[in-house]
Amino acid sequence: MNEHSPFESAPDDQLGAALRDALPTPFGGVFVNRVLARLRQQRSRSWDEELAGWFWQGLAAASLVAALAGWGLKVFGSADEVETAASTSVASQLLEGSTPGANVLLASMSSADAP
């Protein structure tokens, strides 16, 4: 053993071996199995957590799709009503007594000329 030089830069083999003996690490295989068991446990748990995360995202997406479908039905379901409203708009304007525009007059004349 080299006695106490602060400039020693090589490991002290004798001291190192004594320290490794003094700090034994028994049951290495048991320890490794324990770590790997925890690791697999974490992996399966994280898979469950992943699924749980997807569940909420899926639920949110389904809600959005349902809302869009509802909106779509409302919009496209009322298209006939819009068409009907457009076709009656000339007559209703005339009945209301308001001054119809040129397009309304032309439309009524063309429909009157029709056989």
Partner 1 sequence: MTGGDEAELAARAGRGDADAFGALVEKHQAMARRVAYAILEDREDADDAAQEGFLSAWRAIARYDPSKAFRPWLMQIVVNAARDLRRRRRVRAADPLDSVSAASRDNPAREAGDIDLGERLRAALATLPERQRLAVVLFDAEGYAQAEIAALLGIPEGTVKSDVFHGRRALRRVLSTVKEEWDE
Size of site (CB under 8 A) for partner 1? 33
Question: What single-letter amino acid sits at 14?
Answer: Q
- Contact between 113 and partner 1 by CB under 8 A: the answer reads no
- Contact between 51 and partner 1 by CB under 8 A: the answer reads no
From candidates 23, 95, 102, 114, binder to partner 1 by CB under 8 A = 23
Contact track, partner 1, 26-45, x by CB under 8 A: --x--xx-xxx-xxx-xx--
Q: What are phi and psi of 11, to 5 degrees?
A: -65, 150
DSSP class of 10: S
Per-residue b/e over 49-77, b at no fewer than 16 CB within 10 Å? eeeeeeeeeeeeeeeeeeeeeeeeeeeee
For partner 1, which stretch binds (CB under 8 A), given 1-9, 63-71, 92-100, 105-113?
Answer: 1-9
